[in-house]
Amino acid sequence: MSQLEQRYTLRWPRARAIYEQALGSLPGGNTRTQVHVDPFPMYAERGSGARLALIDGVEVDDFLLNYSASALGHCHQAVSAAIHAGIDAGGPFGLPVPAEVLLAERLRERFTGVELVRFTNSGSEATLQAVRAARAFCGRPRIAKAEGGYHGSHDLVDVGITRFGEAPGEAIGETRGMAPEVVAGVSVFPYNDLDGALAVLEPQAEQLAGVLIEVFLNASGVIPARPEFLGGIAKWCAGHGVLLILDEVASWRTGYSGAGAEHHGLRPDLICLGKALGGGFPIGALGGRADVMAMFDPRGGSIVRHAGTFNGHPVAMSAGLAVLEALNEGAIARVNAQGQRLAEGARRIGGEHGLALTATNYGGVGRLHVAHEPPRSARAAAALPREPRIDIYRALLERGVLVSPDCRFATCTATSEEQVERFLTALAEAAPEALAQ
């Protein structure tokens, strides 16, 4: 056990006590795999803006922001007002509400390529429905995704994120319990390597319904795509009647009309949204070409059936309208610039102290890496040491700065310049200590 882990164990007695209680009723005390950290996770009590009160009574600067989903911070005034109004109106009712129509209209106006919309309760559900729609539309069975691309916690896509095969295209399921025949229907291609990717895609072009892709590998290291890579994949899809399914669940908050459209000039066939859109409430959305989205049209019998007790939840719909209004072009630019400053600052600290510390970011979403050079692929990111990264998390927390245990960070519209400074000051102290162990 490192010194930082020992100190962590002693420093947060209430978090430790709650975790011990949790062990009695949640497997491993956990209900969201990635939030587990040894010896126990931190517990939050309340949040306001970009500040968070931990269960131990300590206030911290929140750079975790629910894994970047809180793009407006906590308790944003307009979003809170919309949420309260939504709650006061009662529901959900089992009847559609006008807010879902309004939110769908806003998404159409804002996101390139979105002609029609369906709402889900999470990003995972959005990608699941996208894959079904693609298969139904194309009449082809297979899909392809990139190494390291995380698209949600379901069998259709939960492959090739941290587990990589040797044969080109080989898909390896991330967890036990997945249906092998479903996993076998997925091909996995290297990210940021266009020739390598096309070598996987080309032989199966006739079989492929869609290619799922992110503008940056969010879960696997915040690794931005090379422009020629994304452009090349999009061109190949268009040339082979394969749908480009752009997963913007995490990235949409970094570009006004979607990061893919804004920064890469993409016009996806389908786009998946989620995370920040719900203003803290569960939401997902799927939008795209009218002819593809028509698969969900119930008139005359849906081709793809998409049910859900909470689809189009009135509170999430109201929150979404307020979020889109607040996350305008100016706000996105400011939040992205702060993320850039954090990443540049972290790289500078690594260089000045001669540490194996660097950072990657895509606008306001970033990640610290225990390495001298930023990783360019999921395999490279996965090969980096884990323990020192967790020690950086622990050492930052001692200094009042919260990131995820795997050192992801994000900025939001409530993040102040002082907080950015405090993050970098804390990192300059925390990293040498964590990396010296």
- Which residues here bind ligand PMP, judged by CB under 6 A? 122-124, 127, 150-152, 214, 218-219, 247, 249-250, 274, 284
CA atoms within 13 A on the CB side of 48: 2
Q: Minimum distance between the CB of residue 85 and ligand PMP, rounded to whole angstroms?
A: 24
| CB closer to ligand PMP out of 11 and 310 | 310
Two tokens at 404? 């995820």
User: CA angle, 85 as apex, 306 and 413 as ends, to 5°?
Assistant: 85
Residue nearest ligand PMP (C-beta atom):
123
Tell me the DSSP string of 216-236.
EETTTT-EEPPHHHHHHHHHH
| CB closer to ligand PMP out of 261 and 395 | 261
| CB closer to ligand PMP out of 127 and 358 | 127
Q: Minimum distance between the CB of residue 379 and ligand PMP, rounded to whole angstroms?
A: 18
Two tokens at 217? 């590998």
Residues whose CB falls within 8 Å of the CB of residue 232, separated by 6 or more in sequence, listed in order: 194, 197, 198
Residues whose CB falls within 8 Å of the CB of residue 371, separated by 6 or more in sequence, listed in order: 356, 357, 358, 384
Strand ranges for 353-405 from DSSP E: 358-362, 365-369, 401-402
| CB closer to ligand PMP out of 51 and 132 | 132
Residues whose CB falls within 8 Å of the CB of residue 203, separated by 6 or more in sequence, listed in order: none
| CB closer to ligand PMP out of 246 and 434 | 246
| CB closer to ligand PMP out of 47 and 284 | 284
Q: Minimum distance between the CB of residue 433 and ligand PMP, rounded to whole angstroms?
A: 30
Strand ranges for 19-63 from DSSP E: 44-48, 51-54, 59-62
Two tokens at 286? 């799927």
| CB closer to ligand PMP out of 151 and 347 | 151
Q: What is the DSSP letter of 191?
A: T
Q: Minimum distance between the CB of residue 32 and ligand PMP, rounded to whole angstroms?
A: 9
Q: What is the DSSP letter of 12?
A: -
Q: Minimum distance between the CB of residue 408 and ligand PMP, rounded to whole angstroms?
A: 10
Q: Is omega for the bond preceding 92 within 30 degrees of 0, making it cis?
A: yes
Q: Minimum distance between the CB of residue 355 and ligand PMP, rounded to whole angstroms?
A: 28
Cα separations (Å) of 113 from 251, 281, 381? 16, 25, 32
Q: Minimum distance between the CB of residue 160 and ligand PMP, rounded to whole angstroms?
A: 14
Two tokens at 323? 């979020």
| CB closer to ligand PMP out of 117 and 395 | 117
Q: Minimum distance between the CB of residue 216 and ligand PMP, rounded to whole angstroms?
A: 9
String of b and e for 199-224 (b: at least 16 CB within 10 Å)? ebbeeebeebbbbbbbbbbbbbbbbb
| CB closer to ligand PMP out of 234 and 427 | 234
Q: Minimum distance between the CB of residue 219 and ligand PMP, rounded to whole angstroms?
A: 6
3-state DSSP call for residue 52?
Answer: strand
Nearest Cα neighbor of 323 from 118, 50, 62, 78 is: 78
Q: How many Å apart are CA 392 and CA 31, to the nearest integer? A: 24
Two tokens at 246? 């752009």
Q: Minimum distance between the CB of residue 189 and ligand PMP, rounded to whole angstroms?
A: 16
| CB closer to ligand PMP out of 72 and 219 | 219
Q: Minimum distance between the CB of residue 271 and ligand PMP, rounded to whole angstroms?
A: 11
Residues whose CB falls within 8 Å of the CB of residue 369, separated by 6 or more in sequence, listed in order: 221, 357, 358, 359, 360, 375, 381, 384, 389, 407
| CB closer to ligand PMP out of 377 and 419 | 377
